[in-house]
Copies of this chain bind each other. A is one copy, B any other.
Amino acid sequence: MNETTLFTRLRETAGKDWAEFTNHKFVKALGNGTLAEPCFRYYLIQDYLFLFHFSRAYALAAYKAETIDDLRYAAIAINNIVDVEMSLHVEYCLGWGIAAEDLSTEPEDVATTAYTRFVLDCGHRGDLLDLATALAPCVAGYAEIGRALAVDSGTVRDGNPYVSWIDMYASDEYQKVSGDSVTQLEELADRRGGELRFNALSQVFNQATRLEKGFWEMGWNQQKL
């Protein structure tokens, strides 16, 4: 399998779901700066709760490690989320008027529960490849969204309060995190018979993609409230 085969095929097969996730109106509104602030605030809080369970998913990957390299890769991801991403998140939220103590006491939205626990269950039920496949839409999807917004002529930079969010996911650092995760996915696919498991993996990828779309929906729907 060449380096990007599995991810490329999964992404293509997710077709309409992938497009609806990566081009969601929430995403467009981040780009042109028109997103209602309550939507973004709600999203930020849920994303913080999400990150906690996402780091638990990488911990599960570390438990499932077959090699020292697997273990190291997952341990770096845990540290990255806990020490870097979650700290940045707290700081970032502060800038949006959300206090640190509010982050962990907010009730978890059903969309957050559904997505995070689905990924964890994929990991327990299947193997490392199933888990990496369930994690892929988030990591690689955000990189794709960040990069697309950064180059999109419709993206507004002046006065757009969401520019720093776009810049973070468009950054070389985040693009590398995403690139490494795709490389890891391909390596696992080679090792664990991915080529013969495409249909089942594709179902996992599609459901995770729909749950990502549901996460934007959740944020978007806050404007009606």
- Show the binding face of A for B, using Cβ within 8 Å: 52, 55-56, 59-60, 62-66, 68, 71-72, 74-75, 78-79, 82-83, 86, 104, 107-108, 110-111, 113-114, 117-118, 120-121, 124-127, 130, 191-197, 200, 207, 210-211, 214
Contact = CB atoms under 8 A, between A and B. Distances in A.
A14 B72 CA distance: 31
Contact of A78 (B56, B75, B86, B200): B75
A78 B52 contact: no
A74 B56 CA distance: 11
How many copies the complex holds: the figure is: 4
A193 B191 contact: no
Contacts of A124: 63-64, 120, 124
Contacts of A127: 125-127, 130
In the A-B complex, the 6 residue pairs with the smallest Cβ-Cβ separation, listed nearest first, are A193-B193, A117-B117, A59-B62, A193-B196, A114-B114, A127-B127
A64 B60 CA distance: 9
Q: Which of A63, A118, A200, A214 has most chain B Cβ within 10 Å?
A: A63
